[in-house]
Chains A and B, each alone.
Chain A
Amino acid sequence: GQQVMQIPQYQHVQEGEDFTTYCNSSTTLSNIQWYKQRPGGHPVFLIQLVKSGEVKKQKRLTFQFGEAKKNSSLHITATQTTDVGTYFCVGYDDSWGKLQFGAGTQVVVTP
């Protein structure tokens, strides 16, 4: 089964509000990546986190990697309709030798 758990599974957000999605791993990760998949589209790379406690920002998106490298979060401020889609985290653990996808958070934005 999946070793990377992602919550929540669904997120309804009013336009202009903030929200956060979380990924948790049972093991220490080497790296974590985040992807966005628009409805009807394919996953597209957003960002990669490598260092413990790392924080990266892309405009209204803030990505964080936990100190223990077992969890990560994506925070979106002032949500817009263009933020609609499913956000996946993808963990990489050297012991797995492969990418492990979280189930994704499906985001619906209400105008």
Chain B
Amino acid sequence: EAQVTQNPRYLITVTGKKLTVTCSQNMNHEYMSWYRQDPGLGLRQIYYSMNVEVTDKGDVPEGYKVSRKEKRNFPLILESPSPNQTSLYFCASRDRVLFTEAFFGQGTRLTVV
């Protein structure tokens, strides 16, 4: 079954404590991306990756890091989380060459206190 798996689904953490949200896809997609979703703002892209070892900033990259060491994995790292990073996060993947559908993970609801 084609899927994008995010972990954890829910996370409550304290300001400044480093955390990583994992994302893995089993479709051999080259393109992966991270979004945050906030009420009234829709989905905003944080970072994206066109291929292994290739990453680029999206619209709201401040406070986030990513890495793409393997094709299937694209972790999102918050080195020093702050309360304004409290949000719902989605990882997505799609075929890079064809503008085909994006597959989304189940989402990670992060609360930073």
Contact = CB atoms under 8 A, between A and B. Distances in A.
Interface of A: 2, 6, 9, 30-31, 33, 35, 41-45, 48, 50, 88, 90, 92, 98-99, 101-104
A45 B101 contact: yes
A88 B42 contact: yes
A95 to B, nearest CB: 14
Contacts of A31: 99
B41 A103 contact: yes
Given A43-B92, A45-B102, A101-B43, 17 more contacts: A9-B40, A42-B104, A42-B105, A43-B43, A43-B90, A43-B102, A48-B99, A48-B100, A92-B99, A98-B58, A99-B33, A101-B35, A101-B45, A103-B40, A103-B41, A103-B42, A104-B42
A11 B35 CA distance: 24
8 contacts: A2-B42, A42-B105, A43-B90, A48-B99, A90-B102, A99-B102, A101-B35, A103-B40
B74 interface: no
Interface in B26-75: 33, 35, 40-45, 48, 58
Contacts of B48: 98
A102 B10 CA distance: 25
| Chain B residues touching A, range | 20 to 34
Interface of B: 33, 35, 40-45, 48, 58, 90, 92, 99-107
Contacts of A48: 99-101
The residue in B33, B44, B99, B105 that gathers the most chain A C-beta atoms within 10 A of its C-beta is: B99
A6 B42 CA distance: 10
A44 B45 contact: no
